[in-house]
């Protein structure tokens, strides 16, 4: 997150060593240890030393911001004075000493603007510290502030602009930018079911750089590894410096004999059907009946298959995004089109995760919701309202089972009601075979209070009307 968003900066990466912002003199001032620097008071004069891991030079303002690291920690020097000629001496790994005043901005600890620096002898480039396991632990991330870090196995998720339109990335945090304007690039990615926000700062990697181009080539569902600098802006605000795509989300041509989405939807009930689709959501394995239910999608539409026959061993091979070929018969249950119980499946090579559809404005329109049946949708700006049990005057934020007959510890479904902005109320369910007790979604649902404001992602199931199966719950405000 930039302090001044209108500044147009250029990133310089030229190797060499020379003094910048002062004459080279390695013996003049002894640098503080990292511990001494962190213990120093706000506005105190500080001298820090380390190796330059990343930097952004501004030709317009004749300054350079630097991420510097040593064996014990890392430092951020904000807008150190530096001319264009002096900037030519900078290179990744350069040994630098910075003199200035300690400050902080929205939690980011830094050496303040107009600090000075000099380049010393020696170079060192540090490997990125893997923080994948610590993504949900802000305290652990804060301990890595300003260091070069790595995160592995992220899945690119939808990010939404100010109008609620989803995309794989945004120019500027709210989508107010555009291609060709050298705006920052923001994207969301998930790890272990939780979604986090990341940014490519255009003053660090300008439009046209490999990093910027990689960010604007992201697709929802891509699995990526990243390297980044652990900046802070009211919380972790990783500045991404490198992308590696380990699995690209894309659809493949359907094999011979497979129906198109239009052919499948127009097929009569009980007609034989053959479909191919990519797994978007799947229930737990039903060991009693040796089957599972699954939501599939391709670029044409979405499908639901009920009671697909499988061994536990074959079921265990299925992952989100995997391509399945399913052969069976067309069914319908309370107006829910499905591949009926007993269908067979084959696991094919392929991987695709479909974008989530923002259906907030369709919520009260039954026909509009039916046109995207079985899709995963976003519903924004909902308010939790009271649920009722027959012959019980009490108001409940949620119920175990639709009629309140369940209980904690029994893996009952969880039902709750929400009101949209127009005041209309809708019922939401967390199906325990999709999100079992103890899962993040189940725990979030049973932690709701009346009046909470939330966003939801749901699959559109159908039971004589839209029957929304919650997949994530984001608490906006209590």
The CATH superfamily label for domain 34-123 reads Nucleic acid-binding proteins (2.40.50.140)
Determine which of 10-24, 30-44, 212-226 has the lowest per-residue pLDDT on average: 10-24
Strands 236-247 and 223-232 come out as: antiparallel
Residues 69 and 283: their CA atoms lie apart, in Å, by 46
Token couple for 376? 């995963």
- Fold of domain 261-351: OB fold (Dihydrolipoamide Acetyltransferase, E2P) (2.40.50)
Residues 232 and 237: their CA atoms lie apart, in Å, by 5
How confident is the model over 111-169, as pLDDT tens digits? Answer: 999 999 999 999 999 999 999 999 999 999 999 999 999 999 999 999 999 888 899 99
Residue 163 confidence (pLDDT): 86
Residues 336 and 346: their CA atoms lie apart, in Å, by 23
How confident is the model over 25-67, as pLDDT tens digits? Answer: 555 679 999 999 999 999 999 999 999 999 999 999 999 999 9
Q: Is 335 a residue whose pLDDT tops 60?
A: yes
Residue 4 confidence (pLDDT): 44
Q: Predicted confidence band at 297 (pLDDT cuts at 50, 70, 90)?
A: very high
Domain extents for the chain?
34-123, 129-247, 261-351, 357-477
Strands 336-339 and 322-333 come out as: antiparallel
How confident is the model over 343-397, as pLDDT tens digits? Answer: 999 999 999 999 999 999 999 999 999 999 999 999 999 999 999 999 999 999 9
b or e along 219-228 (b: 16 or more beta carbons within 10 Å of the residue's beta carbon)? Answer: ebbbbbbbbb
Residue 11 confidence (pLDDT): 36
CATH of 129-247, one of 3.30.565.10, 3.30.830.10, 2.40.50.140, 2.60.40.10: 2.40.50.140
CA 245 to chain centre: 15
Residue 193 confidence (pLDDT): 84
Q: Predicted confidence band at 7 (pLDDT cuts at 50, 70, 90)?
A: very low
Q: Is 13 a residue whose pLDDT tops 90?
A: no
Residue 1 confidence (pLDDT): 61
Asked if CATH classification 2.40.50.140 holds for the domain at 357-477, the reply, yes or no, is yes
Residues 1 and 195: their CA atoms lie apart, in Å, by 18
Q: Is 86 a residue whose pLDDT tops 60?
A: yes
Residues 204 and 209: their CA atoms lie apart, in Å, by 10
* 3-state secondary structure at position 360: helix
If residue 38 lies in a helix (H) or strand (E), which one and from where to where? helix 34-39
Residues 299 and 458: their CA atoms lie apart, in Å, by 19
- Tokens 């608490």 correspond to what residue? 475
Torsional class of 444: left (φ above 0), alpha (ψ -120 to 50), beta (otherwise): alpha
Alpha helices in 320-471 (DSSP H): 366-370, 440-445
Alpha helices in 179-325 (DSSP H): 210-215, 261-266, 312-315
Residues 34 and 296: their CA atoms lie apart, in Å, by 52
Q: Predicted confidence band at 478 (pLDDT cuts at 50, 70, 90)?
A: confident
Residue 27 confidence (pLDDT): 54
Residues 194 and 155: their CA atoms lie apart, in Å, by 10
Phi/psi for 261 (5° steps) reads: -60, -40
Residues 25 and 430: their CA atoms lie apart, in Å, by 66
- Tokens 């240890």 correspond to what residue? 33
Q: Predicted confidence band at 22 (pLDDT cuts at 50, 70, 90)?
A: very low
CB 331 within 8 A of CB 319: no
Q: Predicted confidence band at 15 (pLDDT cuts at 50, 70, 90)?
A: very low
Q: Is 432 a residue whose pLDDT tops 50?
A: yes
Q: Predicted confidence band at 20 (pLDDT cuts at 50, 70, 90)?
A: very low
Token couple for 272? 């034989």
Q: Which of 378, 374, 281, 287 is nearest to 335 (CA)?
A: 374
Residues 416 and 445: their CA atoms lie apart, in Å, by 8
Q: Is 23 a residue whose pLDDT tops 70?
A: no
Residues 37 and 47: their CA atoms lie apart, in Å, by 8
Residues 478 and 453: their CA atoms lie apart, in Å, by 6
* 3-state secondary structure at position 37: helix
Q: Is 230 a residue whose pLDDT tops 70?
A: yes
Residues 76 and 50: their CA atoms lie apart, in Å, by 11
Residue 9 confidence (pLDDT): 34
Q: Is 334 a residue whose pLDDT tops 60?
A: yes
Report field, pTM of the whole predicted structure over 0.95: no
Residues 160 and 177: their CA atoms lie apart, in Å, by 13
Q: Do domains 34-123 and 357-477 have the same CATH topology?
A: yes
Instruction: Compute how many other C-beta atoms are within 10 angstroms of the C-beta atom of residue 295.
Output: 25
Residues 148 and 54: their CA atoms lie apart, in Å, by 9
């Amino acid at each position: 997150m930039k302090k001044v968003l209108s500044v147009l900066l250029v990133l310089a990466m030229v190797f060499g060593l020379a003094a910048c912002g002062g004459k080279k003199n390695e013996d003049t001032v002894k640098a503080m240890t990292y511990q001494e620097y962190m213990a120093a008071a706000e506005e105190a004069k500080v001298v820090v030393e380390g190796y330059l891991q990343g930097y952004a030079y501004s030709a317009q303002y004749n300054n350079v911001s630097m991420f510097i690291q040593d064996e014990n920690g890392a430092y951020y020097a904000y807008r150190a004075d530096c001319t264009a000629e002096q900037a030519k001496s900078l290179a990744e790994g350069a040994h630098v000493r910075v003199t200035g005043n300690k400050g902080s901005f929205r939690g980011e600890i830094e050496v303040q603007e107009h600090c000075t620096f000099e380049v010393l002898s020696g170079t060192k480039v540090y490997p990125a510290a893997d923080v994948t396991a610590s993504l949900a632990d802000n305290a652990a991330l804060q301990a890595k502030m300003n260091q070069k870090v790595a995160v592995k196995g992220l899945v690119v998720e939808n990010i939404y602009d100010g109008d609620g339109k989803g995309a794989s990335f945004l120019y500027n945090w709210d989508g107010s930018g555009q291609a060709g304007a050298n705006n920052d690039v923001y994207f969301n990615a998930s790890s272990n079911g939780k979604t986090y926000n990341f940014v490519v700062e255009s003053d660090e990697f300008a439009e046209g750089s490999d990093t910027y181009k990689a960010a604007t080539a992201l697709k929802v569902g891509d699995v990526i590894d990243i390297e980044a600098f652990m900046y802070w802006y009211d919380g972790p605000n990783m500045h991404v410096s490198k992308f590696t795509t380990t699995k690209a989300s894309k659809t493949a041509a359907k094999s011979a004999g497979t129906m198109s989405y239009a052919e499948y939807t127009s097929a009569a009930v009980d007609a034989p059907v053959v479909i191919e689709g990519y797994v978007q959501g799947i229930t737990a394995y039903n060991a009693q009946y040796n089957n599972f239910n699954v939501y599939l999608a391709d670029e044409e539409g979405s499908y639901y298959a009920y009671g697909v026959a499988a061994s536990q061993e074959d079921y265990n091979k299925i992952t989100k995004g995997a391509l399945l070929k399913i052969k069976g018969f067309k069914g319908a249950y309370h107006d829910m089109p499905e591949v009926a119980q007993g269908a067979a499946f084959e696991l094919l090579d392929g991987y695709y995760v479909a974008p989530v559809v923002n259906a907030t404005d369709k919520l009260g329109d039954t026909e509009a919701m039916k046109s995207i049946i079985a899709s995963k949708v976003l519903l924004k700006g909902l308010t939790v309202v009271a649920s009722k049990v027959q012959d019980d005057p009490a108001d409940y934020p949620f119920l175990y089972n639709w009629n309140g007959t369940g209980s904690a510890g029994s893996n009952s479904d969880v039902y709750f009601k929400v009101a949209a902005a127009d005041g209309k109320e809708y019922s939401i369910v967390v199906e325990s075979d999709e999100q079992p007790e103890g899962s993040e979604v189940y725990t979030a649902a049973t932690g709701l209070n009346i009046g909470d404001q939330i966003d939801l992602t749901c699959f559109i199931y159908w039971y004589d009307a839209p029957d929304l199966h919650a997949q994530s719950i984001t608490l906006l405000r209590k």
